[in-house]
Structure 1
Amino acid sequence: MSMTEANQPKKDWRFILIAIVAGLGGLLFGYDTGVVAGVLLFVNQVFHFDASMKGLFVAIALAAAAVGAAFAGALADAFGRRAVLIVAAVLFSAGAILSSVAGTIPILFLGRVMVGAAIGVSSMITPLYLSEITAAHWRGAIVTINQFYITVGIFVSYLVDYMLSGTPDGWRWMLGLGSVPGLILLGGMMVLPESPRWLAGRNFIEKATAGLRFLRGRQDVSEELGDLHRDIVEDSRRAAPWSLLLTRKVRKPLIIGVGLAVFQQITGINVVIYFAPTIFRDAGLSSASGSILATVGIGAVNVIMTGVAMRLLDTAGRRKMLLLGLYGMLTSLVFIGTGFLIQLHGPLTYIIVGMVAIFVAFFAIGLGPIFWLMISEIFPLAIRGRAMSIATVANWVSNMVISGIFLDLLLIIGRGPTFMFYAAMTVLAILFTLWIVPETKGKTLEQIEDSL
């Protein structure tokens, strides 16, 4: 877009309201991601899960998330971003309630599949929606609201886990309360506008104009609408089949998106999120409530540092923040692995707890938000939804594999070598970033497309 500084839209209550409500998609993601950590400590008392079944309990939702993400892009391109988010909110709420009342393993797993599918859809559509309604000069902060909501959802779930850890059948309430953010998202999306980019691409020009006026808080949006129209006309001159994903123009962005998706998971973050109480108990915190309380602190660090990232991404830049985060993650993973290898005891156990907190802090300012932000920026408009789906599916499949095998991996090679493996993967992530990941700070989506 060619907007001048004088014409750049200012943040006002309307747009902030939209960003907050749309970001609830991230809250769904975060709550369910975090609540599993507490549920895993208690659900086996009813269903008698061994390590493999615990891994399957986590992995089945992640597999459903991968499937949901796979279809989300095509659905969003066909029916609109807003409509798909509404369906995801309904599916999440229903799945959360079904999981909470389950009396058998098949019903429990069915509820988890529904929740997982909704998370997969919302994890891909929410950053896409936010990136398309946001002006370039504060897109980094607004799209990162999605990641901020993820961390808030994780923190809230840890608090819920702690408060219900001593309650009979508390794990059912842990799962059932996930329906609340789903219902809030459903209500909020009922009053929000569709993406003007999507509307203009479907030739709903009047609706696109009205949406832009609402978003920008002014009547004259002709320049921005003209930029949108030119971009759409250019894309309409060429077909956008799936084979476009294999062309030279898309190849590099696709390598970046899928690469960051995989590295976000194989460096170990969701192992920490899902199994933090288990890790802390293995490190020497004997009680379930004590392990969960330590996990609450980790959740608070995650929220705070994501807030820091929101303030820095549009000034310090995506690539610099990504590298800083990876270096910090590498250092903390080496300390965690070493701590388990030398079998720290007593007060020294808290060194591991502290290093887990540092690991999460550096993830929260780097790889956590930047993956979701960059996949919403780097793909051409003509295939943005489908390309984001591919990157999101890669993220969820990697999440499923890493989380599903974690407990078995601990039994096979031990805690120390497991975390050293994650450290080695972080080294690869650093090399990947240095090799191919570009800086997108301050560029419009059209400028990023041209540069790649």
Structure 2
Amino acid sequence: VCPQVYVTEIAVPEIRGCLSSLLKILSQIGILISFSLGAYLNWSQLALVVASAPVLLFLALLFVPETPSTLLLRGKEQEAEKSLQWLRGPDADIRQELATIRTNILASKQYNDGNTGKFKVLLSKRLTRPVLITCGLMFFQRFTGAHLFNFYALTMFKKTFRMMNPHGGAIATSVVQLLASCLSGMLIDNVGRLPLLMISGVTMSIALAGFGTHAYYGGVNSNSTNLTHDDPGSYDWIPLVCVLTFTIAFSLGISPISALLIGELFPLEYRSTGSALATSFSHLCGFVNVKTATDFQLHIGLHGLFWMYAGISVLCLLFVVLFVPETKGREIDEMDPKYVESLCINR
């Protein structure tokens, strides 16, 4: 939660999306390193190695300042000025940007003063729409089959490329995710959030439908995890292509952008609360998805499960078109408060 909110508050609009994608890229690099080390180390050795990461993070955070917006919200003018100067560089002229942040925070406080009671503010359009949008995106992020694809990727890489061990399959999948995340970082501030989300929704639905169709006509049992066939003449490349296509589409659009919009849509004084709420809802959806996937598979078959995910991806596309605003190039404080009220539902 905190890294996404921090990056959103300190970044200028021109690179905010790119910096947000950088978080996902670095996360993928960490996963790739862990998978690579796991091929040579046992679990206890790997745990000791990766334990160095939080230690390094703690030491680095000792030199990182609080965001200017948060400091101004707390009335710490001089500290906010020093923080913004540190972030923009010693030679940067920060007077205009600091004045803009100060003005928007003042307007936000006046807006809250006009709405008696904190409970009333929490139920206003200013907050309910960001909550519904971010939680909706988190729902679609979790219920479009990403967990199942990650789980079955090892089996498919192992059976399709018989010379590749499970660690090689995990590494290959991580490399694809990393490359797609890098591509998303290059496009997100140039193309925009909505086009990438739409492309992601369309491509994921096609990949999931193709995977389910292969499982149906390939005769995969409802309770089987053998997604490929030992027959050398079978079309083992079809599920492999579907996995890679889905991985690219997921990493290009809904995976990084849903997290980015959490930091962009919530008003400053409720950004931490809203981010925690959306992230908690995301983990809840992930838990429910993993726990119910096996039951769905037993009742409707593996093909039915992935066709269901394809249908959810289509609903995700409709949700994006109707409700998700484009935030490319906008100052983060422009969303406080009128922007969120007027643009969170596309017309």
Q: Output the TM-score relative to the length of structure 1.
A: 0.66
2:106 & 2:148 partners in 1: Cα distance? Answer: 45
| Residue from 129, 132, 136 that aligns with 2:6 | 129
1:205 aligns with 2:72: no
**Structure 2 CA distance for partners of 1:134 and 1:260, relative to 1, 3 Å:** same
Report the secondary structure of 2:236's partner residue. helix
Alignment of 1:123-272 (within 5 A): 124-164=1-41, 170-217=42-89, 218=91, 220-237=93-110, 238=112, 241-272=118-149
- In the alignment, which residue of structure 2 is the partner of 1:291? 166
2:229 counterpart (345, 352, 357):
345
In the TM superposition, residue 394 of structure 1 has moved relative to its aligned partner by 1.3
Q: What amino acid does structure 1 have at the position aligned with 2:201? A: L
**Bigger RCO of structures 1 and 2 (CA < 8 A, at least 6 apart):** 2
Match of 1:65 in 2: none
The CA distance in 1 between the partners of 2:294 and 2:160, in whole Å, is 17
Among 295, 305, 321, the alignment partner of 1:418 is: 305
C-alpha separation in 1, matches of 2:339 and 2:239: 43
- Residue identity opposite 2:175 in structure 1: A
Calculate the aligned-residue CA RMSD, in Å.
2.3
Helix, strand or coil for the counterpart of 2:265? coil
1:36 is aligned to none
C-alpha change, 1:280 and 1:255, in structure 2 (3 Å) is same
Alpha-carbon deviations, 1:20-48, whole Å to 9, x = none?
Answer: xxxxxxxxxxxxxxxxxxxxxxxxxxxxx
Q: Any idea what SS the aligned residue of 1:316 has?
A: coil
* 1:359 correspondence with 2:236: no
Distance in 2 of aligned mates of 1:223 and 1:335: 53
Give yes or no for the alignment of 1:331 onto 2:218: no
Count of aligned positions? 322
Whichever residue aligns with residue 430 of structure 1, its letter is: L
Q: Quick one: structure 1 residues 280 and 241, their matched pair in 2 at CA, closer, same or farther if it must change by over 3 Å? A: farther
In 2: Cα distance, 1:320 partner to 1:242 partner:
35
Question: How far does residue 223 in structure 1 lie from its aligned partner after superposition?
Answer: 1.3
Question: Residues of 2 paired with 1:160 and 1:424: CA distance?
Answer: 37
Q: Which residue of 1 aligns with 2:193?
A: 318
Shift of 1:358: 1.1
Letter in 2 for 1:320: P
Kept in 1: contact 2:156–2:240 (CA 8 A):
no
Residue type of the alignment partner of 2:7: L
Contact 1:131 1:377 in 2 (8 A): yes
For residues 278 and 175 of structure 1, what CA distance do their matches in structure 2 show? 25
Instruction: String of CA shifts for 1:92-147, please: whole Å, max 9, x gaps.
Output: xxxxxxxxxxxxxxxxxxxxxxxxxxxxxxxx111100011111111111122112
Equivalent pair of 2:101/2:333 in contact (CA under 8 Å)? no
TM-score by length of 2: 0.85
Aligned to 2:270: 383
- Residue 447 of structure 1 deviates from its aligned partner by 2.4
Deviation at 1:175, TM superposition (A): 4.3
Structure 1, unmatched stretches of 5+, are 1-123, 165-169
**Separation in 2, partners of 1:355, 1:184:** 38
Percent of pairs identical after alignment?
26
Tell me the CA shift for residue 360 of structure 1.
Answer: 0.6
Q: For each residue in 1:356-406, what CA deviation from the matched residue of structure 2 results, as whole angstroms up to 9, or x when unmatched? A: 111010111110111011111111112111112211111111111112333
- The residue number in structure 2 matching 1:393 is 280
Question: Alpha-carbon deviations, 1:48-95, whole Å to 9, x = none?
Answer: xxxxxxxxxxxxxxxxxxxxxxxxxxxxxxxxxxxxxxxxxxxxxxxx
CA distance in 2, matches of 1:407, 1:176: 33
Report how far residue 178 of structure 1 moved.
Answer: 3.2
> Which sections of structure 2, spanning at least 5 residues, go unmatched?
219-227, 341-347
Instruction: Please name the residue that 1:306 is paired with.
Output: 181
Q: Which protein has the bigger helix share?
A: 1
C-alpha offsets along residues 228-263 of structure 1, whole Å, 9 cap, x if unaligned?
211222223325835423112222222111100111
Tell whether the 8 Å contact from 1:318 to 1:441 is kept in structure 2 after alignment.
yes
